[in-house]
Structure 1
Amino acid sequence: MVKHHVLFLGSDESIYGSARELHEAFGMKSTIIAAGRPMTATRDSHIVDIKLVPGINDDPKFIEEMRKIGAEVKAAGQPTILVGSGDKYAALIAQHKAELAEFFVIPYIDYDRMIELNHKETFEPIAAEFGLAMPATKRITPADAERDVESEWGYPVILKSDNSVEWMDLFFPGHKKIYFINSHEELNEVIKLAYANGYTSTFTMQDMIPGDDSFERNLTAYIDQNGKVRVISMGHALIEDPGPQGRGNHMAIMPDYNEAIYDQYVKFLEGLNITGFVNFDLKFDTRDNTYKVFEMNIRLGRSNWWASLNGTNWMRALVDDYDDVAIPDMPVYANADKSKWKVWLAITPKLYKQYMRHNEATDFALKLIENGQYGYTYKYKNDWNIKRFLNYRRANQNFAKYYAKYFKA
């Protein structure tokens, strides 16, 4: 008998993956709160109940509505864990943690600590203290819009906002999630454009590590109430969204297993004295044979269900923790048995085959796909109906057009 339920904020693919995990693990139907029309992932689903609360993704509406919802949850007497999608909901929950804790279990760290670990300029010295390798970096500030900025490493370089919550609320022509800068002129043009359109925080400019999407890794862990890592799982990214707003979003992930990386990051995470989900983006640098970390996110990633496809159910880890279900051998190092690996896809096998870059990893993933060892977050047999099938087909048609338009060989 499950003691704790989960209430979700948001309606994206991350939330659907988590709701699916609860349904698979416990047969539990989830309630999600959405600020507007549900996104495709959760639309027309039978395993979620969706409550629309316009404006709940911003303060002061967020805390005003969460007080009301919290009072209802408390009156019902059902212990409930609060989980949000993306950086914005995670930040809102952490910001109001003290007040929300009256009604919910809050598996998030304090807001100031979250900002310290989320923001690259404060994360870097902490990571360095534990010996985590990082790309060479330079901080870009608003003052740099008034001067000429140089790259010390030549080009290309990566430019990314240090404040993802502020950045995602902006939109202007030329706005991108991540910039891949190819020249001195382009770098200065982007810096000036961003600050002229209202951005106030810093950017991180990083040396571009050689290699395509398939050199990247996704590392996710759950740290329990006692600050101990319960499970850690590493994924091998294969291909990403090529579009300006989606760049960095994985479209195919295969499991990976690296005991040395697991050891290093478990030591790091347990040294931080934190709790909840964390997610890292890494890339293998062939120049010195190291995995370099780009950033740390205090939340699950958008494509987190890839790990569940391969045996790591994040919601079971969360609920079991608060239900006081012991795990005899912690931490669990996921994906040790390569024969059981499955490829997670957000695109069709046909599209993957068309746009994959051939190397040992991507070719191995293709063999797994051809053997039927693959799956999708969205395509759940216990939540399949004609409307979801039509949504799924429409999404794949759009992805095909998107890759044709934006993909660069």
Structure 2
Amino acid sequence: MAGRRFAAPVEADREVPGLIVKFGGYPLHHGGVGAIRSLGRLGVPMYAITEDPYTPAAASRYLERAFVWPTTGAEEPEHLVEGLRRIGRRIGRPTVLIPTDEEAAVLIAEHQDELSGAFLFPPVDPALPRRLASKQGLHELCEEHGVASPTTVFPTSYDQVVAFADEALFPVVAKNREAFVRRSRPAVGGTTRIGSRAGLLALARDWGDDPGVILQEYLPREAAEDWIVHACFDADAHPLAVFTGVKVRSWPPHAGMTAHAYVVDNPELADLATRFVKQLGFAGVVDLDLRFDRRDGQYKLLDFNPRMGAQFRLFESESGVDVVRALHLNLTGRAVPEGEQRAGRRFVVENIDLPAWLAYRRGGYTTPSAPRRAEGTELAWLAGDDPMPFLTMLARFGRPGAKHLYQLWRTSRRGGGTSHSTK
């Protein structure tokens, strides 16, 4: 049931607030709302950076204050750091930082000295989050530590794209090489399936001298399953909470954010993720996307997000811990209660799951590992104890002149939006 609250022996430090940190214009972000609710229900004072005063996050009953600060993600780091420090002075006491995008996670890691004192965050190698957020950096780390990932090349010229096209087995996938595509003109709109040599070369003509893309083997949908791992690690890269689940639908289809997912116990996957993070020495919250390739029986790592994932509220332990609660407990010096993950839970993002369901139904895609029945459903937006974010989302999503519904329709028509196919 939406908004259902479980009695849990989680005793958070109510004297230490949390701040949702986000850069760029994406006001309909359910992950931030989930974090505000998760800690707010424990009595933790919550603050958030928002694009304007009328976002769903700003409407939550659990939010003490929204700091309206429109950003694009293209600002100079010094400007963003000073803005965060200004917010810290307004809050007036040490505050746990909860980044919701790569820009925020990387900025915090690379400017720990300037942000310490006013804020609490995990100690991490300052260069690591940027490398993990980079497709090329992540692939290199996977090769270094023996973690499976799709076969990938990194062309640095049009001629190298042509050479790849002459040898490649199509379809292939193109992605932007670096995570911070808002700071420059991206080569592709997102994960793009390319069906032929001619289609690849047609796209590549617009990429310039330095393509800025990676070209990756395509893992056939009929032979693969999408899995997710959400976890939190302490300063010694010791796991505080590790959760595994399977993604049933995403939007855009097969390449976008999770629209529908289930908790599924997967000890093998949890062990793989834990060992990799330990090898990296990462501290904090992670959100991993992997694709299980039935052809060779391997879990292949697609994305390593060094921050909270939008669907993190899918996962909660029997002791009432999710990754955001684990982070706050750890940074405030409190023990994180142990407990198995609540199996069978389902997560649904109301405004994108319907178009995703229609697209997946047309494609005939199924997820064999998903349970037939859910033991409980967590809705991204609707919560009985906090209804205003849902109503605000509806108002913004469907208002006259809003682009959201049109974009969903247009994406569905062309077969997947940022995951569109190029023949």
**TM-score, length-scaled by structure 2:** 0.79
Alpha-carbon RMSD across the aligned residues, in angstroms, is 3.4
Segments of 5+ residues of structure 1 without an aligned counterpart are none
Q: For 1:162-209, what per-residue CA distance to the aligned partner results, in whole angstroms no more than 9, with x for missing partners?
A: 2111x133457x84111111111222232332337xxx6742211101
Q: Indicate how the Cα distance of structure 1 residues 278 and 40 shifts in structure 2: closer, same or farther if over 3 A, else same.
A: same
Structure 2 residue identity aligned to 1:157:
V
Task: Report the counterpart of residue 27 of structure 1 in structure 2.
Answer: 43
* Residues 86 and 328 of structure 1, relative CA distance in 2, 3 Å threshold: closer
Matched, 1:18 2:35: yes
Among 83, 87, 95, the alignment partner of 2:110 is 95
For residues 287 and 139 of structure 1, the distance between their equivalents in structure 2, rounded to whole angstroms, comes to 24
**1:105/1:277 CA distance change after superposition, 3 Å:** same
1:270 corresponds, among 278, 283, 286, to: 278
**What per-residue deviation string (whole Å, max 9, x for no partner) do you get for residues 64-111 of structure 1?**
2223223344xx3x3211122211111222222211113211226243
Q: Deviations over 1:211-246 (max 9, x none)?
A: 169711111211112321111111211112137xx9
Distance 2:340 2:270 in 1: 7
Aligned match of 1:313 = 322
* Structure 2: distance between partners of 1:407 and 1:292: 24
Aligned to 1:240: 250
Identity %: 19
Count how many residue pairs are aligned between Structure 1 and Structure 2: 388
1:38 is displaced (CA, Å) by 5.9
State the partner residue of 2:182. 168
> Residues 353 and 66 from structure 1, CA distance in 2 versus in 1: closer, same or farther, beyond 3 angstroms?
closer
Aligned: 1:383 with 2:386:
yes
Superposed, which structure 2 residues align to 1:139-150 within 5 Å? 139-141=154-156, 143-144=157-158, 148-150=162-164
CA drift at 1:359: 6.3
Question: Which residue matches 2:135?
Answer: 120
Spell out the pairing of 1:2-81 with structure 2 (5 A cutoff).
Answer: 2-10=14-22, 12-24=29-41, 26-34=42-50, 36-37=51-52, 40-48=55-63, 49-55=65-71, 57=73, 58-59=75-76, 60-73=78-91, 76=92, 78-81=93-96
> Structure 1: how far apart are the matches of 2:71 and 2:212?
27
Q: Name the structure, 1 or 2, with higher relative contact order (CA <8 Å, separation 6+).
A: 2
Q: Which amino acid aligns with 2:38?
A: E
Asked whether the 8 Å contact 1:213–1:240 carries over to 2, the reply is no
Q: Does 1:288 align with 2:296?
A: yes
Q: Which runs of 5+ in 2 are unaligned?
A: 1-12
Cα distance between partner residues in 1 of 2:114 and 2:354: 49
Which amino acid in the other structure matches residue 47 of structure 2?
A: T
Residues 254, 344 of structure 1: 8 Å contact kept: no
Q: Which amino acid aligns with 1:317?
A: A
The residue type paired with residue 342 of structure 1 is: R
Which amino acid in 1 is paired with 2:84? M
> Cα distance 1:375–1:398, how it changes in 2: closer, same or farther (>3 A)?
farther
SS at match of 1:215: strand
The 1:192/1:201 distance shift into structure 2, 3 A limit, reads closer
What secondary structure does 2:83 align onto? Answer: helix
Q: Report the equivalent of 2:229.
A: 219
> Residue 188 and residue 333 in structure 1: after superposition, are their counterparts in 2 closer, same or farther (change >3 A)?
farther
For the Cα contact (< 8 Å) 1:56–1:62, is it kept in 2? no
